[in-house]
């Protein structure tokens, strides 16, 4: 309500499969709601959600997961003039923003700030953004995602650390035919 009425903006958002909707204003007024998953949508359908006094365009997006299974995503838009294809396209664009935030948090350690003052927090934010930019430039060049790149960096760091330990304490390791294990 706030976005549509107060800000005078439209929105597209996913809704859970267990949400109930009315198929007309009369159905809404009389309390006749049906589950989203029971609808025969076709391209799209106008629906009314509880608590909203305006209709939404409901679209079902079916997609394939990496493991071959299929998933279903239900999207609603407050702009009822949009087509099903336009709603899906606009919603898909936001995925890059999601991956940006996830990588910034998990790979550039934005969420792990031990800082307390405004200045140190600002410095940590700046350093995380710089790390993200560096990860992005390397991942474009190497054609791998941030998570795979982070894993390769960690493995290289661990290997380097183990080599240094061997250099300082060669007697701490013994050699087998196929691999090296620390001695007990």
- Flag whether pLDDT at 1 surpasses 60: yes
Report pLDDT for 71. Answer: 86
Count: domains in the chain: 2
pLDDT in tens, 138-152: 999 999 988 899 899
Look up residue 6 and give its two tokens: 């107060």
Assess whether 88 and 114 both reside in one domain. no
**128 and 168 both lie in a single domain:** yes
Query: 131 and 166 share a domain?
Result: yes
Give, in order, the Cα–Cα distances in Å from 144 to each of 48, 100, 130: 43, 15, 19
Instruction: Among 71, 94, 117, identify where a domain stops.
Output: 94
Question: Between the CA atoms of 77, 80, 86 and 87, what dihedral angle is there, to the nearest 10 degrees?
Answer: 10
Instruction: Tell whether 182 is covered by a domain.
Output: no
Distance (Å, whole) CA 149 – CA 128:
16
Can you tell me the distance from the alpha carbon of 141 to that of 79, in angstroms, rounded to the nearest whole number?
Answer: 40
pLDDT, one tens digit per residue, over 82-103 is: 999 999 999 988 888 888 899 9
Q: Are residues 6 and 65 in the same domain?
A: yes
Tell me how far apart the alpha carbons of residues 35 and 178 are, in angstroms, rounded to a whole number: 59
Residue 99 within a domain: no
Q: Is residue 7 one of the residues assigned to a domain?
A: yes
Does residue 179 sit within a domain? no
| CA-based nearest residue to 94, from 70, 110, 111, 77 | 77
Residue 184 located in a structural domain: no
42 compared with 53, residue with greater pLDDT:
53
The answer as to whether 180 is a domain residue is: no
pLDDT > 90? residue 137: yes
pLDDT at position 172 over 60: yes
The reply to whether 115 and 80 lie within a common domain is no
Indicate the helix (H) or strand (E) that contains 16: none
Q: Report the pLDDT averaged over residues 37-46.
A: 84
pLDDT at site 112: 84
pLDDT at 114: 85
pLDDT at 175 over 80: no
- Average pLDDT of the chain? 88
Domain boundary among 66, 94, 122: 94
Residues near 90 by beta carbon (within 8 Å), at least 6 away in sequence:
12, 82
Let me know whether 45 and 83 are in one domain.
yes
Domain limit, last residue, from 94, 121, 144: 94
Q: Please tell me the pTM assigned to this model.
A: 0.62
Domain presence at residue 9 = yes
Predicted pLDDT at 177? 56
Q: Which residue range is the domain that position 62 belongs to?
A: 2-94
For residue 35, give every residue at least 6 positions away whose Cβ sits within 8 Å of its Cβ, in sequence order, or none: 17, 18, 19, 20
Predicted pLDDT at 98: 85
For residues 4-24, give the mean pLDDT: 91
- Domain match, 20 and 87 both: yes
Per-residue pLDDT, 179: 54
Please check the confidence at residue 182 and state whether its pLDDT lies above 60: no
First to last CA, the chain: 65
């Amino acid at each position: 309500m706030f976005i549509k009425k107060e800000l005078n903006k439209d929105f597209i958002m996913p809704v859970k499969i267990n949400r109930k909707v009315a198929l007309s204003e009369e159905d809404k007024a009389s309390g006749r709601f049906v589950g989203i998953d029971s609808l025969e949508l076709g391209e799209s359908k106008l629906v009314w959600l509880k608590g909203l006094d305006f209709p939404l365009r409901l679209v079902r997006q079916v997609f394939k997961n990496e493991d071959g299974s299929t998933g279903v995503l239900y999207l609603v838009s407050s702009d009822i003039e949009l087509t099903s294809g336009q709603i899906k396209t606009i919603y898909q664009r936001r995925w890059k923003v999601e991956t940006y935030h996830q990588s910034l948090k998990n790979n550039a350690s934005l969420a792990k700030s031990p800082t307390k003052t405004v200045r140190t927090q600002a410095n940590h934010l700046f350093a995380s953004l710089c790390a993200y930019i560096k990860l992005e430039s390397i991942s474009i060049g190497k054609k791998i995602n941030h998570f795979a790149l982070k894993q390769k960096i960690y493995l290289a760091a661990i290997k380097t650390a183990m080599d240094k330990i061997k250099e300082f304490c060669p007697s701490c390791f013994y050699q087998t035919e196929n691999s090296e294990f620390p001695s007990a």
